[in-house]
């Protein structure tokens, strides 16, 4: 049996089946996997009770499905290809058997360090094979992995450690990123001095860059030393279908980052199913996703999706512009990459470097190219199509979110008709609707509205770690009975979907999701800041840039802007640095004290003629003042 869709008629048939009888549809898909014990109920719960379960009472381990299951037929096939930051450094290859051995050994090491089923393990690492191995090692023993992207600061890391009550951290001494070294272990040390991180008992340190680090004798353990003498045999823990597989922190419109909780069986089925059908990878192809495992894309489409389908995956440690802007294309040529999956921000940045970089290399191996993370603009779509895909590779523009676990709306490569900048059609199991301001479903085909989902799919987020109330509030309270994505969307006359971007206070900077409230909090930490308001504005390369309007006290010096940036770097990390900071005398507030961000967004976008109704403002004059000081460049 297989769950591969091979043509558009089958897509339509499968889509209809998945809507008419979701339970029998997903049961058939799930039967392709290895289970220790079969489920008793395919699906229960809904978007009203917020108690969604898939494959209830089933028992399984996702690593059996990623690794052991393929050993009889693929033991010596390539599972993981690691490409280092420096083009001079030799690559590393792991067959399925070798990867299974590494994962088993590492799993035994974690057990020996005291990690038990259900414990949370934070992975704060660069893109080295040991990261992917550690992810799977956690999954093998039922520990909850929580990967924290290496660009987050000590404070941000500490917040996640505290929220997860993590028992153990795995890190590198440092990570290569282009010509820089990120001092990961030092950042862990700094985080662990902060309040709230007392749960951490051990820090395992993998040496990658050989910089000087401190090893705290009771707490820190060298990766190699810890793994010495460990057995290569580690039977996989039999997990309940709804046990937590991982949490991954992401930003919302309010409050601290949320630990998005995904559970074993539903996530597995969704990651596997969507990978297989969107990318259509065949034997002897080589698929490469350029994301970092610190984000959901790296979980679902570097780690789990490919391996679950017995396909090889590529991990690239470096950045697209090091040593120069042809690095991606050198890799495509050298390894004859057939499937290439990246973010619009990378495409735009490389487009800006000039065509000579993309024209130097032979890209004829490419068959399918993908885009993820943010809306792709028309110019970037066409450049990608012409210069990279040479007009012969379908572009799969994949819309999804950390919360959805996997791709939701996307063309299936070589199956779905393409339309520039359209994510096109929903995958089987996905029932998108557009709601108007009143929360009514818009029934006309051609429409624009807020994108919601009508029915649970296997990969949907199950909870927010430690705060189920917030889960209900965030996703199911805006439009009762629906899952609200936070995105706006258009549907054309053929029913094709085009995502227009966030409609809430989340900004998408280079495909990184950043909450305006979080940046405001970081700016407010500065003692000379009275109040800050942060909005996104259109940015040529990053998609959106961060614009901060800040009221400061009389004591602020001319260094205030630098200090504000330093504060954001300290509390969140360099990815959330404001691009523009405007010092203002006041912020536009309603009589009830709410900041009117709508106006600030207009000013930041240099749209000065259409503020709409500002009569409810407490002090309409501040608008003039802010307008006259707007940073336009």
**Site residues (vs ligand WT7, CB under 6 A):** 250, 295-297, 371-375, 397-402, 423, 485-487, 499, 501-502, 508, 513
Rounded Cα gap, residues 138 and 140, in angstroms: 5
Rounded Cα gap, residues 120 and 116, in angstroms: 9
Rounded Cα gap, residues 312 and 428, in angstroms: 25
SS3 530: strand
The conformational region for residue 19 under phi > 0 = left, psi -120 to 50 = alpha, else beta, is alpha
Q: Measured from the CB atom, is 183 or 545 closer to ligand WT7? A: 545
Give 148-180 as a DSSP string.
Answer: --TTS-HHHHHHHHHHHT-SEEEEES-EEETTE
Rounded Cα gap, residues 483 and 259, in angstroms: 17
Q: Nearest distance from residue 401's CB to ligand WT7, in Å?
A: 4
Ranges of H-type helices in 39-128: 62-66, 71-74, 96-112
Q: Nearest distance from residue 359's CB to ligand WT7, in Å?
A: 26
Q: Nearest distance from residue 250's CB to ligand WT7, in Å?
A: 5
Return the residue nearest ligand WT7 (CB atom).
Answer: 402
Rounded Cα gap, residues 383 and 347, in angstroms: 8
Rounded Cα gap, residues 237 and 110, in angstroms: 13
C-alpha Rg value of the chain to the nearest Å: 24
Q: Measured from the CB atom, is 239 or 509 closer to ligand WT7? A: 509
Rounded Cα gap, residues 314 and 161, in angstroms: 29
Q: Nearest distance from residue 412's CB to ligand WT7, in Å?
A: 14
Q: Nearest distance from residue 543's CB to ligand WT7, in Å?
A: 9
Q: Nearest distance from residue 508's CB to ligand WT7, in Å?
A: 5
E strand or H helix at 113: none
Q: Measured from the CB atom, is 47 or 381 closer to ligand WT7? A: 381
CA atoms within 13 A on the CB side of 297: 21
Q: Per the omega criterion (within 30 degrees of 0), is the bond before 323 cis? A: yes
SS3 495: coil
Contact 482, 433 (CB under 8 A): yes
Q: Nearest distance from residue 372's CB to ligand WT7, in Å?
A: 5
Q: Measured from the CB atom, is 132 or 181 closer to ligand WT7? A: 132
Q: Measured from the CB atom, is 174 or 429 closer to ligand WT7? A: 429
Ranges of H-type helices in 280-372: 296-298, 305-308, 327-335, 344-352, 356-359
With the CA atoms of 593, 597, 602 and 606 taken in that order, what torsion angle do they form, in degrees rounded to the nearest 10?
A: 90
Q: Nearest distance from residue 367's CB to ligand WT7, in Å?
A: 20
Q: Nearest distance from residue 407's CB to ligand WT7, in Å?
A: 8
Cross-strand bridge partners of residue 426: 409
Q: Measured from the CB atom, is 174 or 405 closer to ligand WT7? A: 405
Q: Measured from the CB atom, is 268 or 560 closer to ligand WT7? A: 268
Q: Measured from the CB atom, is 329 or 399 closer to ligand WT7? A: 399
What b/e readout covers 151-161, taking b as 16+ CB neighbours within 10 angstroms? bbbbbbbbbbb
Q: Nearest distance from residue 511's CB to ligand WT7, in Å?
A: 6
Rounded Cα gap, residues 249 and 464, in angstroms: 9
Q: Measured from the CB atom, is 140 or 262 closer to ligand WT7? A: 262
Quick count: other Cβ atoms within 10 Å of Cβ 562?
11
Q: Nearest distance from residue 341's CB to ligand WT7, in Å?
A: 11
Q: Measured from the CB atom, is 35 or 399 closer to ligand WT7? A: 399
SS3 133: helix
Rounded Cα gap, residues 360 and 334, in angstroms: 12
Question: Is 627 exposed, middle or buried (CB count within 10 Å of its CB: 0-12, 13-18, 19+)?
Answer: middle
Q: Nearest distance from residue 343's CB to ligand WT7, in Å?
A: 8
- Terminal CA-CA length for the chain: 58
Residue 411: DSSP 8-state: P
Q: Measured from the CB atom, is 208 or 348 closer to ligand WT7? A: 348
Q: Measured from the CB atom, is 338 or 508 closer to ligand WT7? A: 508
Q: Measured from the CB atom, is 84 or 372 closer to ligand WT7? A: 372
Q: Nearest distance from residue 583's CB to ligand WT7, in Å?
A: 30
């Amino acid at each position: 049996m297989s769950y591969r869709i091979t043509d558009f008629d089958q897509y339509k048939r499968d889509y209809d089946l998945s809507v008419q009888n979701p339970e029998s549809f997903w049961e058939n898909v799930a039967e392709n996997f290895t289970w220790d014990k079969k489920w008793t109920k395919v699906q229960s719960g809904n978007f009203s009770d917020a108690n969604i379960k898939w494959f209830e009472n089933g028992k399984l381990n996702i690593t059996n499905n990623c690794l052991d299951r393929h050993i009889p037929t693929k033991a010596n096939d390539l599972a993981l290809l690691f490409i280092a930051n420096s083009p001079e450094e030799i690559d590393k290859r792991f067959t399925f058997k070798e990867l299974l051995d590494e994962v088993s050994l590492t799993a035994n090491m974690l057990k020996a360090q005291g990690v038990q089923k259900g414990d949370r393990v934070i992975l704060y690492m660069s893109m080295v094979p040991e990261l992917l191995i550690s992810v799977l090692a956690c999954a093998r023993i039922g520990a909850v992995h929580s990967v924290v992207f290496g660009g987050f600061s000590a404070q941000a890391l500490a917040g996640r450690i505290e929220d997860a009550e993590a028992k153990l951290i795995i890190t590198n001494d440092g990570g290569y990123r282009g010509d820089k070294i990120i001092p990961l272990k030092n950042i862990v040390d700094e985080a662990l001095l902060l309040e709230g991180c007392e749960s951490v008992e051990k820090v395992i340190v993998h040496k990658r860059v050989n910089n000087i680090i401190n090893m705290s004798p009771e707490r820190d353990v060298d990766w190699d030393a810890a793994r010495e003498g460990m057995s290569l045999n580690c039977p996989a823990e039999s997990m309940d279908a709804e046990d937590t597989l991982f949490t991954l922190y992401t930003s919302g419109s309010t409050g601290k980052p949320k630990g998005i909780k995904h559970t074993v069986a539903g996530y597995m089925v969704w990651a596997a199913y969507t990978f297989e059908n969107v990318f259509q990878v065949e034997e002897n192809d080589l698929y490469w996703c350029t994301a970092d495992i610190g984000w959901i894309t790296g979980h679902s489409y570097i780690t789990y999706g490919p391996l679950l389908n017995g396909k090889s995956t590529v991990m690239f440690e470096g950045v697209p512009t090091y040593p120069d802007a042809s690095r991606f294309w050198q890799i495509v040529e050298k390894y004859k990459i057939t499937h290439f999956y990246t973010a619009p921000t990378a495409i735009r940045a490389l487009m800006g470097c000039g065509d000579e970089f993309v024209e130097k290399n032979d890209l004829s191996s490419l068959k399918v190219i993908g885009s993820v993370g943010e809306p792709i603009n028309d110019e970037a779509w066409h450049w990608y199509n012409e210069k990279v895909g040479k007009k012969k590779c379908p572009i799969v523009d994949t819309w999804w979110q950390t919360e959805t676990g996997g791709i939701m709306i996307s063309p299936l490569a070589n199956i779905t008709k393409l339309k520039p900048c359209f994510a096109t059609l929903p995958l089987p199991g996905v029932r998108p609707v557009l709601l108007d301001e009143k929360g009514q479903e818009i029934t006309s085909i051609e429409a624009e509205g807020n994108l919601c989902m009508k029915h649970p799919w296997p990969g949907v987020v199950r909870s927010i770690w430690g705060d189920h109330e917030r889960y209900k509030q965030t996703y199911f309270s805006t439009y009762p009975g629906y899952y609200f994505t936070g995105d706006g969307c258009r549907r054309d006359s053929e029913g094709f979907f085009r995502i227009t971007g966030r409609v809430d206070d989340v900004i998408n900077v280079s495909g990184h999701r950043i909450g305006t409230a979080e940046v405001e909090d970081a700016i407010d930490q500065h003692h000379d800041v009275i109040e800050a308001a942060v909005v996104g504005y259109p940015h040529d390369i990053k998609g959106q840039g961060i614009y901060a309007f800040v009221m400061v006290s009389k004591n602020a010096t001319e260094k205030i802007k630098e200090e504000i940036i330093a504060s954001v770097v300290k509390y969140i990390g360099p990815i959330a640095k404001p691009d523009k900071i405007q010092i203002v005398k006041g912020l536009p507030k309603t009589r009830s004290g709410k900041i009117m961000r709508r106006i600030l967004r207009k000013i930041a976008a240099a749209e000065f003629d259409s503020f709409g109704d500002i009569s409810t403002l407490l002090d309409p004059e501040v608008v003039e003042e802010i307008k006259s000081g707007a940073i336009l460049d």
